[in-house]
Amino acid sequence: MNIIAVGLNHKTAPVAIREKLAFDATKTMAALRQLKNRFSQAAEFVLLSTCNRVELYSAASTESGVTHKRLTEFLSEFHGIEPDDFRDLLYIYRDEDAVRHLLTVASGLDSMVVGEGQILGQVKESYRLACAARSTGKVLNRFFHCGFTTAKKVHTNTSIAGGRVSVAGVAVELATQLFADVSSAKVIVIGAGEMGELLVQHLLHEGCKNITVVNRSFDRGRNVADKYGIAAGKWDQLNDQLINADIAIASATVQGYLFSRDAFEQIADRRRKGSLLIIDVAVPRNIEPAVNEIENVYLYSIDELSVVAEQNRKTREADMSKGMQFVYESAAEFMDWFRARDIGPLIGQMRERFAQISQEELERFFVGPRQEASCKEVMEPMVKRIVNRLLHCVIKNVNIVAEERGPAEAARFVDSIVRQAKEISTEPDNEGNSQSKT
């Protein structure tokens, strides 16, 4: 069995590509079910899609037909995108490299904002959806739980999660750098999901006093507003809110743009205030990029937060190094289990093969006049006891090999014995054949 990870992220692909390959919960469930139908039912899949990455994890045997090329083809077909549009932006990891990658992602060490805690929740949600779609199995179950445990170790034993460690936090930090006095600004937060709530928290921390959250579900928006003592606006009044805003931060989950350039020009024409700063952290994006061409409107996408995020990364280099030590240790432990999981079935095959050889030899011996020999009832259990004792010695040596050279070498050792035993059992026994004729 092989583990494969195929994906792209903020470091390899622009948001224009990431948003085309993004999955919401409904699409994730549909994709996982299609993957199970397309490949062997024994193949396992988990799909992770966030604002900064889309990654498909699989664990499958070679016979299942799961390869990185076919997974790429699936992503292309599902979203109706030509493979050439994103193939060169993909990264492909196998086995231990794939394990290290997920553990790094879950721990927040591969995030745009190093140390962010939101990614762990997103990884857990992706795993929950895979469980609901019944697309996981023994390998990916253990794999993802290893990721959860490793993330906890990293966050517990380092200070990597301290300070401003979220996309929302970096977005607000960018706003403070671009706007002279953010505390006096009228700020509109579009979307009241997890990201929207984080934006509100960071804005309040910066001293903002005039914040309005606008959400498609007014009740959800009002709940967030009441929780933090801010205002809530109705979705159909969003245009009016933007006419009087100084800053707008968009994080709504929608398909297609909320505002095209033409639509936003009508808002800009009605404004009587100065410039409007818009930060779009949604993926897919909420605001058409061409809106940035409108006079006195300054639009920043999630990819343009990278400068602030890089400052964050440099202050956490020591913690990143320490965190990666936990990742490598946990990945090695998982791979020990992954390689060793085949030893048990192989030992079972070895037992069966040894028993088969002993039975065949007894049948070859007790033919003709010997078939009714009085010693037959005694010899059969005696031969089985001898074979079991010899097998016990072999298994002890397998354990020694596993301890000294690792599970993978032990599995190869047992596999070679099974193959040799199979060859022995199929070899013609001229001596036995000649005896049977006497």
DSSP H or E run through 286:
none
Predicted local confidence at residue 164, as pLDDT: 59
Selection from 132-141, 403-412, 416-425 with the highest mean pLDDT: 132-141
Sheet holding 44-49, edge to edge: 44-49, 53-60, 2-9, 91-94
pLDDT at 373 over 80: no
Catalytic residue among 51, 131, 146, 393: 51
Give the integer Cα–Cα distance in Å for 99 and 123. 14
pLDDT at 331 over 90: yes
Predicted local confidence at residue 435, as pLDDT: 43
Known catalytic membership, residue 51: yes
pTM: 0.77
Interval 266-306: pLDDT, tens: 999 999 888 999 999 999 999 999 999 999 999 999 998 88
Ramachandran category for residue 76: left, alpha or beta (phi over 0 → left; psi -120 to 50 → alpha):
alpha
pLDDT at 187 over 80: yes
Lowest mean pLDDT segment, chosen from 43-52, 112-121, 340-349: 340-349
Interval 244-272: pLDDT, tens: 999 999 999 988 899 999 999 999 999 98
Could you give the C-alpha distances from 319 to 156, 170, 311, 388, in angstroms and in order? Answer: 11, 19, 14, 53
- Domains in the chain (CATH in brackets) are 2-163 (3.30.460.30), 167-303 (3.40.50.720), 350-364+409-423 (no CATH)
Sorting pLDDT into bands at 50, 70 and 90, what band is 437?
Answer: very low
Amino acid identity for residue 16 in this structure: A
Could you give the C-alpha distances from 126 to 48, 133, 333, in angstroms and in order? Answer: 5, 11, 23
pLDDT at 365 over 90: no
Interval 297-330: pLDDT, tens: 999 999 988 877 877 777 788 889 999 999 999 9
Sorting pLDDT into bands at 50, 70 and 90, what band is 434?
Answer: very low
- The total of other beta-carbon atoms located within 10 Å of residue 83's CB is 14
pLDDT at 433 over 80: no
% of residues, the chain, pLDDT over 90 = 63
Ramachandran category for residue 163: left, alpha or beta (phi over 0 → left; psi -120 to 50 → alpha):
left
Predicted local confidence at residue 429, as pLDDT: 58
Contacts of 3 (CB under 8 A, 6+ apart): 57, 58, 59, 94, 95, 98, 99, 139, 143, 338
Predicted local confidence at residue 89, as pLDDT: 98
Alpha helices (H) in 134-260, listed in sequence order: 138-157, 167-178, 194-205, 218-228, 238-243
Sorting pLDDT into bands at 50, 70 and 90, what band is 1?
Answer: confident
Lowest mean pLDDT segment, chosen from 34-43, 142-151, 275-284, 429-438: 429-438
Interval 134-145: pLDDT, tens: 999 999 999 999
Q: Token pair for residue 405?
A: 């050279």
Spatial contact of 196 and 176, defined as CB atoms under 8 Å apart: no
- Arithmetic mean of pLDDT over the chain: 90
Higher-pLDDT residue of 225 and 113 is 225
Contacts of 262 (CB under 8 A, 6+ apart): none
Sorting pLDDT into bands at 50, 70 and 90, what band is 438?
Answer: very low
Higher-pLDDT residue of 338 and 69 is 69
- The total of other beta-carbon atoms located within 10 Å of residue 317's CB is 10
Give the integer Cα–Cα distance in Å for 414 and 342. 10
Q: What are phi and psi of 189, to 5 degrees?
A: -105, 115
Higher-pLDDT residue of 167 and 165 is 167
Predicted local confidence at residue 428, as pLDDT: 63
